[in-house]
Amino acid sequence: LLQVMLVIDAAVSHLENLACLEEYLCGLGRKHQALGVKVESFSTVGESLLFMLEKCLGPAFSPDVQEAWSQLYGAVVKAMQRGWESCPEGD
């Protein structure tokens, strides 16, 4: 969980320029692949993140806030998947 939050923190900190995290996120995707993590697990983590935000923010977790977080998390996952796909399984 700590690692997930560090990645989310990096994404929020570089919100205006997520492209600068591309190499880092691609590398992270390759590491996850090497560890045998399934791509489908990213959906579960994303759902958990949104659930946590909803519980912590309460009424402030509006549909617009939910959409913004969903888009941010989606961008992180897409970058990780690019790293995943650039590395054949087993490498």
DSSP output for 9-60: HHHHHTGGGGGGGHHHHHHHHHHHHHTT--TTHHHHHHHHHHHHHHHHHGGG
At 12, the pLDDT band (50, 70, 90 cuts) reads very high
Best CA proximity match to 27, nearest among 88, 74, 79, 71: 79
pLDDT of 90 > 50? The answer is no
| Residue 7 vs residues 4, 28, 42, 89: alpha-carbon distances, Å | 5, 9, 13, 23
Q: Could you tell me if residue 36 is left (phi over 0), alpha (psi between -120 and 50 degrees) or otherwise beta?
A: left
Fill in the amino acid letter for 79.
A
Q: What is the tens place of the pLDDT at every residue in 35-86?
A: 888 888 999 999 999 999 999 999 999 999 999 999 999 999 999 998 877 7
Break the chain into its structural domains and give their ranges: 38-84
* Spatial distance between the Cα atoms of 13 and 5, rounded to a whole number of angstroms: 12
